[in-house]
Amino acid sequence: MKRLAAFLIFLGVAGGFTSAQTIDQQPLAPPGEEDVQAEEEAEDERSSRFIRAPFRTYRDGFGPFLPKAIEGEETAEQPGTRLRQLDKMTGVIQTVDVPSGTEVTLDRLRVRVESCRTRDEEGASGAISLLKIWDARDVDQEPVFSGWMFAESPALSALDHPRYDVWVMSCIAASGGTPSANE
Answer whether residue 180 shows pLDDT above 50.
no
Confidence of residue 109 (pLDDT cuts 50, 70, 90): very high
Burial class from Cβ neighbours inside 10 Å (0-12, 13-18, 19+) for residue 87 reads middle
pTM over 0.75: no
- Report pLDDT for 37: 75
- Report pLDDT for 120: 79
Coil, helix or strand at residue 45 = helix
User: 123-178 pLDDT, tens per residue?
Assistant: 667 899 999 999 888 777 889 999 999 999 888 888 988 999 999 999 987 665 44
Query: Which is more confidently placed, 88 or 14?
Result: 88
Answer whether residue 182 shows pLDDT above 50.
no
- Report pLDDT for 179: 47
Amino acid identity for residue 60 in this structure:
D
Answer whether residue 114 shows pLDDT above 50.
yes
- Report pLDDT for 136: 82
User: 20-78 pLDDT, tens per residue?
Assistant: 555 677 777 676 767 777 777 777 666 666 666 655 555 555 556 666 777 877 888 89
What is the Cα–Cα distance from 52 to 171, expressed in whole angstroms?
Answer: 44
What is the Cα–Cα distance from 37 to 183, expressed in whole angstroms?
Answer: 60
Closest C-alpha to 96, from 84, 108, 107, 105: 84
- Report pLDDT for 84: 94
Answer whether residue 19 shows pLDDT above 60.
no
